[in-house]
Amino acid sequence: MYTRIIPISSFSRFCPKILTRNLSSAGRDFIKIVEVGPRDGLQNEKKLISLETKLELIRRLTKCNIPVIEAASFVSPKWVPQMADSSNVIKALKDSQSTKYTSLVPNEKGLELAYSAGAKEIAIFGAASEAFSQKNINCSIDKSFENFSKVTKLAKQFNMAIRGYVSCVIACPYEGKISADVVASVSERMYDLGCYEISLGDTIGVATPDETRNLIRKVSSAIPIENLAVHFHDTYGQAIANIYASILEGIRVVDSSVAGLGGCPYAAGASGNVATEDVVYLLEGLGYSTGIDVPALVDTGRWISSQLERPYSSKAGQAIHAKSQK
């Protein structure tokens, strides 16, 4: 349990940079990008792509120096067929000096499969909405925590790092608005299970900046802001504004997806995750460092879009590419 000696959230509201200062080699404050395209992006694509193409995507993203890539998801292949090759993905990935690979795991079976494949890090995923929990992982929130407790116990025995997701932090496609107090309580339960980072998921992409700030203030009064990340889908085009609001509140970890791939199979209306290219443009423009090779990232976004036969949808990526052609 996190002891509330100093309310970090209210302090960080006034001086977030002092609290979370983490300098890159370039001397600028560092913001960590967690690239979720190979999982959150591809899990929602109608066109099934080959294992080779998936691995090529992860290799290209690794070459861009992205610090964390969510590469796989050990869920039921009947529920999400696009992730059925996750064991082969993790087995094929070589350790990288610059990049950690992580995988979604919902239950003990998933954990065993992830461990056998050689995964070193997992992410459990729950929700702040009962209805979404039922639709997404076929159980109530309380039951999901019984599963997570078994999964995290095993993961710790196997020395695996554990990340956590809370979905529907602003609204649920079935229940509507979700209270920030409920999100704080679910996040705290995940933190208490040993998750080193909790990612707050705006699963259907409806958040606006003031709601985002309110949410982060509430959740960071329950767990340290250093242990929080944000995960925005861009359904209403507000993701960049919400990330800016999050940064102002002291958040220093942002999930995003190359070329804005993504969605959620159990959240009707959820469009892609915010594009990594757009997030990096925002953060570098604000004076932060991400360590990411932007031209290589744009090439990767264009390449995967062509593989999926879809238009390249990152605005920053399109502009950077057009400029490079002059």
Contacting residues toward ligand HMG, per CB under 6 A: 40, 43, 73-76, 79-80, 104, 106-107, 109-110, 113, 125, 136-138, 165, 167, 201, 203, 231, 264-266
Closest CB 173 distance from ligand HMG, rounded Å: 11
202 binds Mg ion (CB under 5 A): no
Looking from the CA of 321 toward its CB, the CA atoms found within 13 Å total 18
Binds 137: which of ligand HMG, Mg ion, none (CB < 5-8 Å by kind): ligand HMG
For helices 180-192 and 141-157, angle between their N-to-C axes, nearest 10 degrees: 30
CB count in 10 Å sphere of residue 210: 10
Stretch near Mg ion under the rule CB under 5 A, chosen from 35-43, 68-76, 141-149, 289-297: 35-43
- Measured between alpha carbons, how far is 138 from 153 in angstroms, rounded to an integer? 21
The angle subtended at Cα 95 by Cα 91 and Cα 97, nearest 5°, is: 160
- Measured between alpha carbons, how far is 156 from 108 in angstroms, rounded to an integer? 13
> Nearer to ligand HMG by C-beta: 128 or 308?
128
Contact 253, 32 (CB under 8 A): yes
121 binds Mg ion (CB under 5 A): no
Closest CB 198 distance from Mg ion, rounded Å: 14
Closest-CB residue for ligand HMG? 201
Closest CB 113 distance from ligand HMG, rounded Å: 6
> Nearer to Mg ion by C-beta: 40 or 85?
40
> Nearer to ligand HMG by C-beta: 24 or 138?
138
> Nearer to ligand HMG by C-beta: 13 or 135?
135
> Nearer to ligand HMG by C-beta: 43 or 187?
43
Q: Which residue has tokens 């009064």?
A: 221
DSSP string, 15-73: -HHHHT--B-TTSSBB-EEEE-IIIIIGGG-SS---HHHHHHHHHHHHHTT-SEEEEEE
299 binds Mg ion (CB under 5 A): no
Stretch near Mg ion under the rule CB under 5 A, chosen from 38-46, 139-147, 245-253, 281-289: 38-46
Paired with 254 in beta bridges are 33, 230
The pair of structure tokens assigned to 283 is: 């953060």
Closest CB 300 distance from ligand HMG, rounded Å: 20
- Measured between alpha carbons, how far is 215 from 274 in angstroms, rounded to an integer? 19
| Residues near 6 by beta carbon (within 8 Å), at least 6 away in sequence | none
Of all residues in the chain, what percent are helix, strand and coil, respectively (each to 5)? Answer: 45, 15, 35
Closest CB 320 distance from ligand HMG, rounded Å: 26
> Nearer to Mg ion by C-beta: 29 or 202?
202
Q: Choose which of 8, 12, 16, 40 interacts with Mg ion (CB under 5 A).
A: 40
249 binds Mg ion (CB under 5 A): no
3-class state of residue 268 by DSSP: coil
- Measured between alpha carbons, how far is 295 from 25 in angstroms, rounded to an integer? 20
35 binds Mg ion (CB under 5 A): no
Binds 110: which of ligand HMG, Mg ion, none (CB < 5-8 Å by kind): ligand HMG
Closest-CB residue for Mg ion? 40
Closest CB 63 distance from Mg ion, rounded Å: 24
Write out the catalytic residue numbers. 264
Contact 209, 20 (CB under 8 A): no
> Nearer to Mg ion by C-beta: 165 or 281?
165
Closest CB 27 distance from ligand HMG, rounded Å: 33
Residues that bind Mg ion (CB under 5 A): 40
